[in-house]
Amino acid sequence: MYTFDIAQGTKADLYRDLIAAVDAITSGEPDAVANMANVAALIWEHVPGLNWSGFYRMVDSELVLGPFQGKAACIRIAIGKGVCGAAAATLETQRIEDVHAFPGHIACDAASQSELVVPILHHGKLLAVLDLDSPHLARFDAEDQAGMEAICALIAPRITP
Ligand code: SME
């Protein structure tokens, strides 16, 4: 097991340390599944207020469940469906304060109230999305979005199939 010293003070401290940990654990490792699994676990361990942390991968023309932490989840999501499918269709981060107000939200876990989904692109091609769920309304702010987008930019070349 790996242990990282990750500050829990400000979000700036948290994301500085989390990005460094993600870089350290994925650096030099070419296996996409191993890297996604460790990133999902690092986020789950160190980011408070989550009930799901993980990846959906682009496989052929749909999103398919990848490494994650949390309850067992829906396996396949069509592009354009739900929050994950919206991120895949628009190639833009979806930061949803209240998932119940999002048309077509897919409720894998009834506890989820807010969600952040970041598309992960490499050389312009969508590889996967990072999906974070929270049981709290409006759990994710612009700082969380920027931190998770930085993590996704960092790992994109390390999760290629
Ligand atoms: N809520 C997501 C589905 C995936 S689960 O949250 C793990 C969505 O609407 O796309």
Chain segment 63-121, per-residue pLDDT in tens:
999 999 999 999 999 999 999 999 999 999 999 999 999 999 998 888 999 999 999 99
Compute, in angstroms, the gap from residue 12 CA to the centroid of ligand 1.
27
Tens-place pLDDT, residues 110-159: 899 999 999 999 999 999 999 999 999 999 999 999 999 999 999 999 99
What is the second-level CATH architecture of the domain 11-158? 2-Layer Sandwich (3.30)
133 CB near ligand 1 (under 6 Å): yes
Name the residue ranges covered by the structural domains of the chain. Answer: 11-158
Q: Is 88 in the pocket of ligand 1 (CB under 6 A)?
A: no
Query: Of 68, 106, 114, 116, which is best to mutate to test ligand 1, by the most ligand atoms within 8 angstroms of its C-beta?
Result: 106
Decide: pTM greater than 0.95: yes
- CA of residue 83 to ligand 1 center, whole Å: 6
110 CB contacts (<8 Å, ≥6 apart)? none
Residue 131: closest CA among 89, 80, 70: 70
**28 C-alpha to ligand 1 centroid (Å):** 30
Q: Where are the alpha helices (DSSP H) in the chain?
A: 11-26, 32-46, 82-90, 142-155
Cβ(106) to ligand 1 under 6 A?
yes
